[in-house]
Amino acid sequence: MVLAGLRERLDPLLARIFPPRILLVLDDDAFTLLGLPGQAFQAGSNRLRRVPLPRGACVDGLPLQKAALGDLIGDLSLELGLQGAHVVASLPRSAAGIRVVQWPFDAWPEEPEQALRQIDPDLAMGYPLNQAYLSLTPLIGFDPQLPLTSLLVTAPRSLVLAWIEVFSIAELHLERLEPAQVADLRAIEPLVADAPTDQLIALLEWRSGGAELTLIRHGIPEFSRHLPAMQADLIAGLHQCIHYWRQRDPAVSQVRLLLISSGSGLDDLADSLAAAGDWKVEIVDPIELDWLPWDPGADDPLSPTDLDGSSLLRLSGLNRAEPGQASSGARELPR
């Protein structure tokens, strides 16, 4: 009785000191949530959910039905006992852009964002830099012979503010928003950290609507393309992109293809890709690799086959930036 009373009094304090956390992957058609319940005595186990969104609720990364989305996220947090949670969210892939910026200076600029806005290069983003949030991360230690280089992350200011409003409606504390591409790159750090200097990494995320290809060299995302979903067209497009990069970078002598997908046809796709080129194909399964703190229980409605491979990869990237995880740190969009 005494212990129970003590727990009742301490639980609210522990919840404020160690609040629950939500890692959330936002997409146009669904969101995927990993709930981390915090340190209270009555905290439960981690919860993983994938919730489909109504058609038109989110289009090209922009939340059009903000009230409905906020209510949906808020209701789910209550259902899972995560009220008052701190949220780290990955924006839809189409919501943000990334570029590699080479500085025309001999030393790092003291105010890189201001310097970039003054230079105002044509980055083919589809929106001017003065209407966007920017985040610049120095790319140091990949190749000392390269010029000073930063990874630029941008998103339209109006889009970021719209998502902030969604989480305000949900009555959750939005701690950080970051682009999908950044979370992807952080997730695969354990696989590419010790890549040979002559190796090209090809990250291929396949979904029924198409595939996203990112070519990574010296740890830097150098090239990206959207490829068709149909297997023959996908393989042809993959050959074209890798041939282009090999012509541009003759030092590449080996290609490592990291395949992200889900569903019953994944093994067949991997076999077809392996037979189609002189590259090594590896299926990246975040659940199998134990990248996520989730053990499906008897009351958990999801199994790994129900989940989207790209969303699991993105969740893994968010999780690697959590306190206590081995990561290079978060690259976020300033609010």
pLDDT at 141 over 80: no
Query: Do 2-93+158-179 and 182-320 show the same overall fold?
Result: yes
| CATH of range 182-320; options 3.40.190.10, 3.40.80.10, 3.30.420.80, 3.90.1640.10 | 3.30.420.80
User: What's the mean pLDDT when you consider all of the chain?
Assistant: 86
User: What is the Cα–Cα distance from 97 to 274, expressed in whole angstroms?
Assistant: 30
Q: What's the mean pLDDT in 35-59?
A: 78
C-alpha separations of 81 from 35, 63, 222 in Å: 9, 25, 42
Rounded mean pLDDT, 279-298: 85
Does the pLDDT value for residue 296 go beyond 80? Answer: no
Query: Which pLDDT does position 135 carry in this prediction?
Result: 87
Residue 230 has pLDDT above 90, yes or no: yes
The confidence score (pLDDT) of residue 328 equals 47
SS3 201: strand
Q: Where are the domains of the chain?
A: 2-93+158-179, 95-154, 182-320
Instruction: Spell out a b/e string for 317-332, using b for 16 or more CB atoms within 10 Å of the CB, else e.
Output: bbbbbeeeeebeebbb
In the CATH scheme, what is the code of domain 2-93+158-179?
A: 3.30.420.40
Residue 137 has a pLDDT of 85
Give the model confidence (pLDDT) of 108-122 as tens digits: 888 999 999 999 888
Whether residue 45 is predicted with pLDDT greater than 80 in this model: the reply is no
More confident residue, 76 or 40: 76
Q: Which residues of 71-80 are buried (b: 16+ CB within 10 A; e: fewer)?
A: ebbbebbeeb
Q: Is the pLDDT of residue 11 over 80?
A: no
Q: What is the pLDDT of residue 37?
A: 80
Residue 16 pLDDT class (50, 70, 90 cuts):
low
Reduce the DSSP state of residue 107 to 3 states and report it: coil
- Closest of 187, 174, 99 to residue 137, by C-alpha: 99
pLDDT at 183: 94
- What H or E segment, with its residue span, contains residue 22? strand 21-26
3 state SS of 195: coil
> Pick from 280, 276, 286: which is nearest to 254 by CA?
280
pLDDT tens digits, residue range 183-209?
999 999 999 988 999 999 999 999 888
Confidence class for position 323, pLDDT limits 50, 70, 90: confident
pLDDT of residue 333: 56
- pLDDT of 326 reads 61
**Structure tokens belonging to residue 164:** 């902030």
pLDDT exceeds cutoff 80 at 101: yes
The amino acid at 267: D
The pLDDT value given to residue 304: 53
Note every long-range contact of 139-146, with CB atoms under 8 Å and residues 24 or more positions apart, other chains counting.
Answer: 139/100, 139/219, 139/220, 142/218, 142/219, 142/220, 143/218, 146/102, 146/218
Single-letter amino acid code for the residue at 223: F
pLDDT band at 106 (very low <50, low <70, confident <90, very high): confident
pLDDT at residue 158, rounded to an integer: 95
What is the CA 227 to chain-centroid distance, rounded? 19
Q: What is the pLDDT of residues 231-276, one digit of tens each?
A: 999 999 999 999 999 999 999 999 999 999 877 788 899 999 999 9
**Percentage of residues in the chain having pLDDT higher than 70:** 84
| 44 band by pLDDT with thresholds 50, 70 and 90 | low
Separation CA 39–CA 13 (nearest Å): 10
* Predicted local confidence at residue 335, as pLDDT: 43
Closest of 311, 313, 305 to residue 267, by C-alpha: 305
- Determine the pLDDT at residue 13: 43
